[in-house]
Amino acid sequence: MTSRECVRRALTFKECGEIPTERDDVTGPDFTYGKGRAGGVPVNAKGVRTDEWGVEWTAAEDGVCGEVKRAAICDWDDFDGFTPPYDVLREADLSRVNASCRGTEKFVMPCWDTSYNLFERMQHLRGTEQLFVDIALDEPGLYLSLIHI
């Protein structure tokens, strides 16, 4: 059973033999996002880069995405001035998406700079340690941010 068949069966509550999770046979569609706020070295290259969301990353070696060194929302006072990178979507070239999805039996899932779930995005925007502090302290700003991001 292909990953696409497995996901379709799971979504329609049919037996599929396994729970579909992140798998080796999952692929991303052929597309290019706009540049947005990105700058510095390319993703997975040694050095410092800023991603589309305004998060600063440092990688000590090639082949890894690195660590968040400066979050985009360091203080909750910064949140009111924060804007998600909508320009990245406006500038995106999505013209090849449908053809690339039709051309594979794999389950197709877009991935934005290796972060496609809310928890990971919040770790990047706040920093891992600060996010855990926010959760432990039941920080009201955390809940407000989830509505807007």
- Strands in 1-102 per DSSP E: 26-27, 39-40, 47-50, 56-59, 67-70
pLDDT of residue 70: 92
Q: Residue 20: pLDDT above 90?
A: no
Lowest mean pLDDT among 12-21, 25-34, 38-47: 25-34
Structure tokens of 115? 């972060």
Mean pLDDT of 65-84: 88
Q: Structure pTM?
A: 0.66
Which residue's entry shows tokens 């090849």?
A: 96
Sign of the four-CA dihedral 74, 76, 77, 79: positive
pLDDT of residue 100: 86
Which of 56, 49, 125 shows the shortest CA–CA distance to 84?
A: 125
Q: Residue 116: pLDDT above 70?
A: no
